[in-house]
């Protein structure tokens, strides 16, 4: 069993992707890759890493950044995580392009209304920052908060998805 690791140049900076069995397992900006690579080694011990292209995922990323905003919806993912994290990440994937939600609304959606901070922590642990769209989660007051890639990148993504006007 192997994992393909490839680099991708996005408008937000250089990104590294890890793909296993055709599904995206990890995605990080180059400066955040070492931490994610350690996590991948713990999650997939003994899995060989090869360089490759991850063609279909790259095509979908190109389409998304080129304006086909729903192109990411068809990317298969395997983010791992705890059952709670998986529930949060699945809820994030159900947020349509052009929309945002709050951490509180996500907590209610997964049936844990008092777990707002845990939802925030799950967002922070998301290993696939774009395809599992944690950038669509905002503060209860509509402010942009809590994005590992930085708030400028979060703002860029929401503007690209035409969601930023809903934050006012």
List, for residues 50-64, the tens digit of each pLDDT value.
Answer: 888 889 999 999 999
Q: What does the DSSP 8-state code read for residue 108?
A: H
Tens of pLDDT, residues 96-121: 999 999 999 999 999 999 999 999 99
pTM above 0.75, yes or no: yes
Q: Is the pLDDT of residue 128 over 80?
A: yes
Q: Could you confirm whether 134 is annotated as catalytic?
A: yes
Spatial separation of the C-alpha atoms in residues 54 and 150, rounded to whole Å: 26
- Tell which CATH architecture fits domain 2-74: 2-Layer Sandwich (3.30)
E runs forming strands in 34-155: 48-51, 101-102, 137-138
Spatial separation of the C-alpha atoms in residues 34 and 81, rounded to whole Å: 18
Q: Indicate the burial class of 124 (C-beta count within 10 angstroms; 0-12, 13-18, 19 or more).
A: exposed
Q: Which candidate in 5, 91, 134, 138 is catalytic?
A: 134
What is the dotted CATH code of the domain comprising 83-167?
A: 1.10.10.10
* Residues paired with 138 in a beta bridge: 102
The residues spanned by each domain of the chain are 2-74, 83-167
Q: 120 near 146, Cβ under 8 Å? A: yes
């Amino acid at each position: 069993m192997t994992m393909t690791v490839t680099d991708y140049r996005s408008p937000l900076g250089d990104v590294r992707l890890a793909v296993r069995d055709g599904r995206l397992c990890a995605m990080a900006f180059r400066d955040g890759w070492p931490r994610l690579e350690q996590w991948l080694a713990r999650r997939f011990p003994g899995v060989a890493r090869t360089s490759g292209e991850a063609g279909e995922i790259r095509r979908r990323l190109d389409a998304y950044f080129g304006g086909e905003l729903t192109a990411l919806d068809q990317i298969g993912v395997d983010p791992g995580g705890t059952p709670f994290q998986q529930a949060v990440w699945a809820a994030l994937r159900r947020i349509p392009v052009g929309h945002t939600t709050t951490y509180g609304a996500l907590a209610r959606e997964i049936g844990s209304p008092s777990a707002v901070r845990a939802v925030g922590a799950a967002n922070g642990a998301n290993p696939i920052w774009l395809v599992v769209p944690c950038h669509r989660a905002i503060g209860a007051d509509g402010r942009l908060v809590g994005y590992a890639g930085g708030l400028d990148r979060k703002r860029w993504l929401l503007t690209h998805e035409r969601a930023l006007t809903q934050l006012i």
